[in-house]
Amino acid sequence: MKNLFTALALAVTTFSVSATDTENWQQIEAEAAGQHVYFHAWGGNQEINRYLGWAKKELKRRYDVTLHHVKVTDITETTTRLIAEKAAGKAQGGSVDMLWINGENFKSLKDNQLLFGPFVEDLPSWQYVDKSLPVTVDFSEPTDGLEAPWGMGQLVFIYDEEELASPPRSYAEMLKYAQANPNRLTYPRPPEFHGTSFLKSLLIELTSNDPRLQKNVSETDYAAATKPLWDYLDAFHKVAWRGGKQFPAGTAETLQLLDDGQIDLAITFNPNAVYAAHATGNLAESTKAYAMDFGALSNIHYLAVPWNANAKAGALVVINFLMCPEAQSRKGNIDIWGDPSVLKTEFLSGSAKEHKPFKSVPETHPSWQSAIEKEWLQRYGS
């Protein structure tokens, strides 16, 4: 734990690196007591919000740490705020103590040296993590101990088997289905996360996972690589929901449209979201989740601490708790959130232990995200 405590000695207070790991962690917990941790995380899902509400109560009871869920629509908002604080020379007492990130946002924060760490391998809960998962790489970018794995996302579709007996198993089939059934399919409007993920997943399948997608976009022939994507969307939008002129705001709206019978496929980055929706009555019991035969776009999502966080010790205690078997099992419970865990199976319980992921397709290099979003908005955003 020397890296973590040396860093905290500089950033929080003075810890003795000669003490045992257990003693060092007890010092961090003591430092965290009474702190308020402002956690910037997506606030667009009621199951996630309820789960964090539970975590807030447990953290207060166990560690006297007060967790504040700062609900954001897009974590890019927080990234922009941290860049502004760095430019203003705000080296301590920052407004953000913790954030939920991955992909392009992580790379931006890392490149601009806006993250505290390395700290991840010094957390007591790191011992439970399944190291066979890509928990040290984020969209092909090494994490270098600057963000802790929290869960795994997979892009899947939800359909009602009573209304649609055989959903499309590829994007080619999806286009044919849309052409045969106009106004029944859609996807969230980029740059909303799920909408951009749909575009990346589509591009990966259309190009048979072209190796160029794992490189920095500036090092490739972007126009040639993305031509199949724009050709597909030009055809798809003609027969999409509302003629491809309007798009849902996010996954929650696609679920509502599916439940209302307006569309035939909803989209989510949580394979178990359908079970949580059953439990809350938001979707009929006849709805099911599935992935394309090519595989589901998959990634790990992470928790990180800004370099200038006001409550670093508190943030570390929160992250360690959210990674522990109890919290991960509850998070993976299909009746609560259903977010797939990053822990080894033997440390999980209940439905978090039982549900296996779909066949995985890796993410593109983070640089492709902004390039694709920018062109999508130019082509279809008006």
pLDDT, position 302: 98
pLDDT, position 275: 86
Please choose, from the candidates 157, 153, 167, 159, the residue with its C-alpha nearest in 3D space to the C-alpha of residue 297: 153
Q: Is the peptide bond before 118 cis (omega within 30 degrees of 0)?
A: yes
| Residues 293 and 305 grouped into a single domain | no
Is pLDDT at 19 greater than 50 in this prediction?
Answer: no
> DSSP per residue over 329-379, as a string?
HHHH-TTTT-PPP-B-GGG--THHHHPPPPPEEEPPPTHHHHHHHHHHHHH
Is pLDDT at 174 greater than 60 in this prediction?
Answer: yes
Bridge partners of 302, per DSSP, are 101, 149
| Residues 222 and 318 grouped into a single domain | no
| Residues 144 and 99 grouped into a single domain | yes
CA-CA distance, 73 to 141, in Å (whole number)?
A: 24
Query: Which of helix, strand or coil describes residue 195?
Result: helix
| Residues 168 and 293 grouped into a single domain | yes
**Does the residue 201 lie in any domain?**
yes
**Does the residue 53 lie in any domain?**
yes
| Residues 245 and 376 grouped into a single domain | yes
pLDDT, position 134: 87
pLDDT, position 12: 47
Could you tell me if 242 and 211 are in contact, meaning their C-beta atoms sit under 8 angstroms apart?
Answer: no
pLDDT, position 224: 96
Is pLDDT at 14 greater than 50 in this prediction?
Answer: no
| Residues 185 and 288 grouped into a single domain | yes
Is pLDDT at 20 greater than 60 in this prediction?
Answer: no
CA-CA distance, 105 to 78, in Å (whole number)?
A: 9
> Mean per-residue pLDDT for 27-33?
97
CA-CA distance, 35 to 60, in Å (whole number)?
A: 10
| Residues 235 and 252 grouped into a single domain | yes
The residue that leads in pLDDT, 64 or 19, is 64
> Mean per-residue pLDDT for 339-346?
94
Q: How confident is the model at residue 17 (pLDDT cuts 50, 70, 90)?
A: very low
CATH of the domain at 267: 3.40.190.10
Burial of 20 (0-12, 13-18, 19+ CB in 10 A): exposed
CA-CA distance, 291 to 289, in Å (whole number)?
A: 7
CA–chain centroid gap for 312, Å, is 22
> Mean per-residue pLDDT for 331-346?
92
DSSP state letter for 188: P
| Residues 130 and 224 grouped into a single domain | no
190-224 pLDDT tens trace: 999 899 999 999 999 999 999 999 899 998 999 99
Is pLDDT at 225 greater than 80 in this prediction?
Answer: yes
pTM more than 0.85 = no
pLDDT, position 15: 35
| Residues 200 and 274 grouped into a single domain | yes
104-119 pLDDT tens trace: 899 999 999 999 999 9
The residue that leads in pLDDT, 167 or 2, is 167
| Residues 280 and 346 grouped into a single domain | no
Structural domain boundaries, residue 109: 34-150+300-355
| Residues 287 and 316 grouped into a single domain | no
CA distances from 351 to 125, 220, 281, 321, 331 (A): 20, 43, 19, 20, 10
> DSSP per residue over 281-327, as a string?
TSS-TTEEEE--TT-EEEEEEEEE-BTTBS-HHHHHHHHHHHTSHHH
- For the four alpha carbons of 33, 38, 41 and 6, in that order, the dihedral sign comes to negative
Q: How confident is the model at residue 18 (pLDDT cuts 50, 70, 90)?
A: very low
CA-CA distance, 81 to 301, in Å (whole number)?
A: 20
pLDDT, position 360: 85
**Does the residue 193 lie in any domain?**
yes
Please choose, from the candidates 274, 222, 219, 230, the residue with its C-alpha nearest in 3D space to the C-alpha of residue 380: 230
**Does the residue 233 lie in any domain?**
yes
| Residues 185 and 290 grouped into a single domain | yes
